[in-house]
Chain A
């Protein structure tokens, strides 16, 4: 936790095993521009969200054109997952897991829609339309109002109904490893 010193460790690695020397023989440095092309994950704090914005109204259009064929009219479900409803059902005999009832982060919805949807042509929606369709799905679940517009400044602050519904496994709730230990001085 209090031990990030890459420079020092790189030097130690070079002294210790020569791995730093072989690094130059494998691969090539990644430029920041090409990293940006592939760096698509959006964690809960919203880091990496693109500029742009989208409204619920625009999202309805996008949804009907590109999503409803699989997810059903107003996200009621079809050959692909139901996206709406189920709040209050998770402890019942017939839990209904949807964006509204189960997903803990709105950022994960943006991430998933952008990386994987629509299924036949992932990563083809514009950023504006991705914000819009996320806004529409959230509005169907009563999480944002029908006149909402989402952008990178508003999306991370949305509190999902099941935000506190997840309990991390004890084994992996706090991660420690030997790499974090202070290196021994020679």
Chain B
């Protein structure tokens, strides 16, 4: 029995009655359809899930700023390992006076901290480096960023626990996945103060896709540095130069050189509605979206409806937390003529999200990672919203 498509009078609203019994976990409404999209490299779409390398968050259908854990974006390099926490071990060694092995019981017994922060794949936005596919949604263009409350042991606590040598300036973090993904982490004061060995996400243990039972979490830094399924930390006094920090997550510049250890996620924003493949009607439309920066808080978001010729301030909802996504919105009355919607964010360090022309002039089109240029959505006279370069 399908519910009536419309309830034009209150008499047509279905009557009340006893509902479903209580259950151990609650499912989403059968009327709500939310899902991630498994994808691969830019331009390859659709992708057979067996060949996917990432899975993108449905930003266009979410509200607020927290991403449900099952919809958090995912990027893995050799699939999701099935790890029994009783058999998981963390080895901490190298330049430290007390090289140690920890169980998950040890780690869960340590002091914890919690923090709401975004996590973003360094490839987020890579659809639009060279061309703008017109038939994509904001999930396709920007779905590799999500926000959670992360809970774990402060990195500084672990450094003290093992007696990390003060001369240790880099730390190798390695995963328990099939690719044994490993990245060198620079031990700056900021990273020591804010990093954590996370075992919780949005109030529950990490899910396997996000690193169960343990991952590194480094607020504001590129996703792949936040090593999932963490099983080894090694202290040293220089970068270890793994494949991921040389051949993979480096940014090719126009002159053929590559930027290395570009670890911070720059200030960014995107309008999530109206956005790609949506349909709007003349009259009132609420423009809303998300803004975030690896430098700190979002302090200002501006929106343009005329292709970045004129700007006005959007309202930022609630407290804008440092290195977390902030929700913005602005009222807009559409007159039915073609329009171009753009947002640009500013963070507390004064970084302003660049327009595409300036961004490409500085970086070229081959960097593949760390795209944070302003996103433009074109609205035609029929109200169809499409992805365009600018």
B366–A108 CB distance below 8 A = no
Task: Using A38-B232, A111-B243, A169-B263 as known contacts, say yes or no to A29 and B99 having CB atoms under 8 A apart.
Answer: yes
Task: Using A19-B160, A23-B161 as known contacts, say yes or no to A179 and B260 having CB atoms under 8 A apart.
Answer: no
Q: A69 an interface residue at 8 Å Cβ cutoff?
A: no
A4–B78 CB distance below 8 A = no
Interface 0/1 of A86-111, CB less than 8 Å to B: 00001111010101001111011101
Query: Contact partner of A30 among B100, B178, B257, B366, CB < 8 A?
Result: B100
Question: Cβ of B232: which chain A residues have Cβ within 8 Å of it?
Answer: 38
Question: Cβ of B164: which chain A residues have Cβ within 8 Å of it?
Answer: 179
Task: Using A28-B101, A105-B241 as known contacts, say yes or no to A116 and B187 having CB atoms under 8 A apart.
Answer: no
Question: Cβ of A167: which chain B residues have Cβ within 8 Å of it?
Answer: 253, 257-260
Interface 0/1 of B59-98, CB less than 8 Å to A: 0000000000000000001100000000000011101111
| Nearest-Cβ distance from residue A40 to partner chain B, whole angstroms | 7
Q: A34 an interface residue at 8 Å Cβ cutoff?
A: yes
Interface 0/1 of A14-30, CB less than 8 Å to B: 00010110110011111
A41–B162 CB distance below 8 A = no
Q: Interface residue count for A (Cβ, 8 Å)?
A: 63
Q: A185 an interface residue at 8 Å Cβ cutoff?
A: no
Q: B36 an interface residue at 8 Å Cβ cutoff?
A: no
Among A1, A38, A175, the most chain B Cβ lie within 10 Å of the Cβ of: A175
* A4 and B178 alpha carbons, distance in the complex (Å): 35
Residue of A nearest to B190 (CB): A177
Residue of B nearest to A164 (CB): B257
A172–B252 CB distance below 8 A = no
* A90 and B258 alpha carbons, distance in the complex (Å): 9
| Nearest-Cβ distance from residue A30 to partner chain B, whole angstroms | 4
| Nearest-Cβ distance from residue A89 to partner chain B, whole angstroms | 8
Instruction: List residues of B whose CB falls within 8 A of some A CB.
Output: 51, 77-78, 91-93, 95-103, 106-107, 109-110, 157, 159-167, 169-170, 172, 174, 178-180, 182, 186-189, 192, 231-232, 234, 236, 238, 240-243, 246-247, 250, 252-264, 365-366
Q: List 20 A-B contacts (CB under 8 A).
A: A3-B167, A20-B163, A23-B100, A27-B103, A27-B106, A28-B100, A29-B100, A29-B101, A30-B92, A38-B232, A41-B182, A79-B51, A90-B257, A103-B243, A108-B241, A122-B178, A166-B250, A167-B260, A169-B260, A172-B188
7 interchain residue pairs of minimum CB distance: A91-B256, A90-B256, A4-B167, A175-B169, A112-B243, A27-B102, A27-B100
Given A19-B157, A99-B247, A166-B257: 4 more A-B contacts, CB < 8 Å: A29-B99, A90-B252, A102-B258, A103-B247
